[in-house]
Amino acid sequence: MPAQVITITSGKGGVGKTTAVANIAVALASGKSKVVCIDGDIGLRNLDVILGLENRIVYDIVDVIEGRCRLKQAMIRDKKLPDLYLIPAAQTRDKSAVSASDMTRLVRDLRADYDFVLIDSPAGIERGFRNAIAAADRVLVITNPEVSAVRDADRVIGILESEEKGPASLILNRLNPALVKSKDMLSPEDVLDLLAIELIGIVPEDENVIIASNRGAPVAYDMKNRAGQAFRNIAKRLKGENVPFLDLDAQGSLWERIQRLAGRK
Amino acid sequence: MSFFERLLGKKKSADSAKERLQLVLIHDRTDLTPAELDSLRDDLIATISRHVAIDAQAVQIDVEHDGRSQRLIADIPLKAARRKSRKTR
């Protein structure tokens, strides 16, 4: 079966696009899928460090496009997962080095041999974003439960619809269940109500995500971690499996658990 | 909500966030600026007036939102018809 090409984008920067791409890629490749991820953020390369592959880069995406190397030479194989590859962004060039048709051509050459091509989009709605969505079969919009991130996500969803790249699916990242409970954070229902798109995953806020990126080993490797579990569930849903959403209330504080045991909640 | 917050009528921040976003998103999703809407209104009045008599003052044109889709709603009252047919009879 030819690859599914999935772009992850957000509008606003810093909501977790690169982290999500790395984790979903790790989860898919751990589950026997052949995965290539492409860092679409030319000039602000980052997916390599999140995946812990920064020391292995020789060629990058612009070298492929400009014919300085073959596609295979720019594909870095992951240290742990033999079915996971990264095509890094160029660090010393800008977005004008790549066009939408370059991306489409590159992806076309990958389709036959892999199950998933994941494209990490840059923030914003300019050229880099347009390039990143050009080749996509499906787009995942990632946001945080905050006013600025939700607003920007809405803008991106609107553009995706007018470019006929919709319907997009939503990843709600960095949800803090305690804050939602005390009504100091937008709930998943609130965000879905506002954005009116389909949900594909809710990822709880978790300090282990930062620790994992410090180490260059995405949290999806950690079978006990809930954020990792949330990303693994997204990967399963991308493969068409029907996985229920995590019950984020289940963890709670010790006091909340005691209250629940006592039947007070 | 604590007793004092209820007493002061202070809203929880998630509710403020949602309400503010609802308004902002409606505005963001509207492709027509008020000026464009006005000029569309003038054009519509001019075009329709060539065919039927309308009450230009009472014409209402608005963009209505339903989730992600928008529609243009025009309410254009016709002037009372001059019943030509009866007079000729």
Residues of B with CB below 8 A from A150's CB?
Answer: 21
Domain boundaries of chain A, sorted by first residue: 4-261
Same domain? For B42 and B75 the reply is yes
pLDDT score for B46? 93
Q: Taking chain B, what is the end-to-end CA distance rounded to the nearest angstrom?
A: 75
Distance separating alpha carbons of residues B78 and A188, to the nearest angstrom: 47
B14/A190 CB distance under 8 A = yes
Give contacts of A 218-247 with B, CB under 8 A: none
Query: Where is pLDDT greater, at B1 or A160?
Result: A160
Q: Do B13 and B38 reside in the same domain of the chain? A: no
Taking residue A68's Cβ as centre, other Cβ atoms within 10 Å add up to 12
* Residue-level pLDDT at A45: 96
- Compare B80 and B56 and report the one with higher pLDDT: B56
DSSP B29-87: H--S-HHHHHHHHHHHHHHHHTTS-B-GGG-EEEEEEETTEEEEEEE-PBPPP--HHHH
Shortest Cα–Cα distance, B80 to chain A (Å): 42
Q: Is the pLDDT of residue B11 over 90?
A: no
**Probe site for chain B from A147, A160, A193 (most B CB atoms < 10 A):** A147
pLDDT of residue A34: 98
CA–CA distance, A238 with A200 (Å, rounded to integer) = 8
Q: A-chain residues within 8 Å CB-CB of B1?
A: 183
Mutate: best of A148, A151, A170, partner B, most B CBs <10 A: A151
In a domain, B61, yes or no: yes
Chain B residues within an 8 Å CB radius of A182: 12
Residue B22 and residue B58 in one domain? no
SS (H, E, C) chain A: CCCEEEEEECCCCCCCHHHHHHHHHHHHHHCCCCEEEEECCCCCCCHHHHHCCHHHCCCCHHHHHCCCCCHHHHCEECCCCCCEEEECCCCCCCHHHCCHHHHHHHHHHHHCCCCEEEEECCCCCCHHHHHHHHCCCEEEEEECCCHHHHHHHHHHHHHHHHCCCCCCEEEEEEECHHHHHCCCCCCHHHHHHHHCCEEEEEEECCHHHHHHHHHCCCHHHCCCCHHHHHHHHHHHHHCCCCCCCCCCCCCCCHHHHHHHHCCCC
Residue B87 inside a domain? The answer is no
What pLDDT is recorded for position A11? Answer: 93
| Residue B72 to chain A, least CA–CA distance (Å) | 18
Return the H-helix or E-strand segment holding B2. none
Q: Residues B71, B37: one domain?
A: yes
Handedness of CA A8, A64, A84, A54 (dihedral sign): negative
- Arithmetic mean of pLDDT over chain B: 83
d(CA A194, CA B8): 28
CB A142 within 8 A of CB A8: yes
Whether A158 has its CB under 8 Å from any CB of chain B: the answer is yes
Q: What is the pLDDT of residue B2?
A: 58
Using a CB–CB cut-off of 8 Å, the residues of B that contact A are 1, 12-15, 17-18, 20-22, 24-25, 28-29, 67-68
Contact call for residues A87 and A36 (beta carbons, < 8 A): yes
Given a cut of 80, whether residue B8 has pLDDT beyond it is no
What's residue B88's pLDDT?
46
What's the confidence (pLDDT) of residue B6?
61
- Residues B18, B43: one domain? no
Task: State which residue of chain A sits closest to B22, comparing Cα positions.
Answer: A194
pLDDT in tens, A167-220: 999 999 999 999 999 999 999 999 999 999 999 999 999 999 999 999 999 999
- Tokens 């020789």 belong to which residue? A58
ipTM of this predicted complex?
0.85
Task: Determine, for residues B18 and A196 on separate chains, whether the beta-carbon distance falls below 8 Å.
Answer: no
B28 with A151: Cβ contact below 8 A: yes
Residue B50 domain boundaries: 31-80
Query: Under CATH, which architecture does the A4-261 domain have?
Result: 3-Layer(aba) Sandwich (3.40)
| Cβ-based contacts under 8 A for chains A and B | 47
All residues of chain A having their beta carbon less than 8 Å from the beta carbon of residue B12 are 182-184
Same domain, B8 and B40: no
Whole-number Cα distances in Å, A138 to A141, A186, B73: 10, 26, 33
Q: Is residue B85 part of a domain?
A: no
Do A149 and B24 meet the contact criterion of CB atoms below 8 Å apart?
Answer: no
Could you tell me which chain B residue has the CA closest to the CA of A167?
B68
* Spatial separation of the C-alpha atoms in residues A132 and A100, rounded to whole Å: 7
Output the pTM of the full model.
Answer: 0.85
B29 and A157 in contact by Cβ < 8 A?
no
Same-domain pairing of B4 and B38: no
In this predicted structure, what is the pLDDT of residue B63? 86
Q: pLDDT under 70 in chain A at which residues?
A: 250-265
Q: Is B3 in the same domain as B23? A: yes
pLDDT digits (tens, 9 = 90+) for B13-45: 999 999 999 999 988 888 788 889 899 999 999
Structural domains of chain B, count: 2
How far A156 CA sits from the closest chain B CA (Å)?
11
User: A150 and A178 in contact (C-beta within 8 Å)?
Assistant: no
* Model confidence at B84: pLDDT above 60: no
Same domain flag for B23 and B36 = no
Point out the residue among A158, A184, A194 whose CB comes nearest to the CB of B21: A194
* pLDDT value at residue A265: 45
Contacts of A151 in chain B (CB under 8 A): 21, 24-25, 28
Same domain, B45 and B71: yes
Same domain, B68 and B53: yes
